[in-house]
A and B are shown apart, each in its own frame.
Chain A
């Protein structure tokens, strides 16, 4: 009985040593969750900045073109008629 307990204790110690060493060997590696979170934050910020700039640029150009075309036609016709009347 005593020998059995002694053997069991030795097995436990060996398992503990193996698990501890395993965790110690694995512990100094990179954290994937942390890397994923950092990449998501960086991608969001960069995408938001780029999308905002691009959207502003395109929106301004689209609005400018639409307003210019309509206003130009109207003003041209009006000024042409006014000058022709004089």
Chain B
């Protein structure tokens, strides 16, 4: 009887032990299933990082913007002042030089326009221009901008015409003081180098008065081969 009772107790203890082990095993398995995985932890970490990243970036952006705006403003002002002054000075000088050249050109044009020289359009200046007294003179560098032909010199009054040296020599030989007087007499005449419809019609009274022989040679003296072919 006692042996049966002892066996019953052993069996009961075994059942109890098995039950406890079963409960523990099931609990362990359930706990392991419920255990947080590394992937979910990483996801939570990334989510939290993303949220705080945006907030921190926004606030820090404004602070950094305000902090560096002043420095950038100062640097830009300095650089802009330097560059603007340099370029503005260059542009101003160029404009001033251009204005000076324009003024000179206008003055020259006005001087040329005020001189009693007028030619028709398309008037050829390659040939000599007949002047008073049977002379034929070539337009000088004051009008054409080119050098006088050989054996002739530009007149003293602006080089409007090219006076043959033969005439100069003849005037000197005739007692006329010089070329200045010669040209001065031509300019001081009533017509001077006056504008006519056909071209330069200088009376050349001083020249023609020096001698008819000079005047007779005038047509042959004025070669006018190198003169310009343009009209002023």
Contacts and interface: CB of A to CB of B under 8 A. Distances in A.
Contacts of A23: 31
A20 B24 contact: yes
Contacts of A83: 88-93, 95-96
Interface string B69-97: 11111111111111111111111110110
Given A43-B56, A64-B76, 14 more contacts: A25-B31, A31-B36, A43-B53, A44-B55, A51-B59, A51-B61, A55-B61, A58-B65, A61-B72, A63-B68, A63-B70, A64-B79, A67-B72, A74-B81
Interface residues of B, number: 76
A17 B188 CA distance: 142
Contact of B84 (A39, A45, A50, A76): A76
Contact of A48 (B49, B60, B78): B60
Contacts of B92: 79-84
Interface of B: 16, 19-21, 23-38, 40-42, 44-93, 95-96, 99
A39 to B, nearest CB: 3
| Main DSSP-derived SS at the B contact region | helix
Interface in A37-53: 37-53
Contacts of A57: 64, 68
A50 B49 CA distance: 13
Contacts of B36: 29-32
B60 A82 contact: no
Given A31-B41, A63-B70, A77-B88, A39 B28 contact: no
A55 B69 CA distance: 9
A67 B75 contact: yes
B55 A47 contact: yes
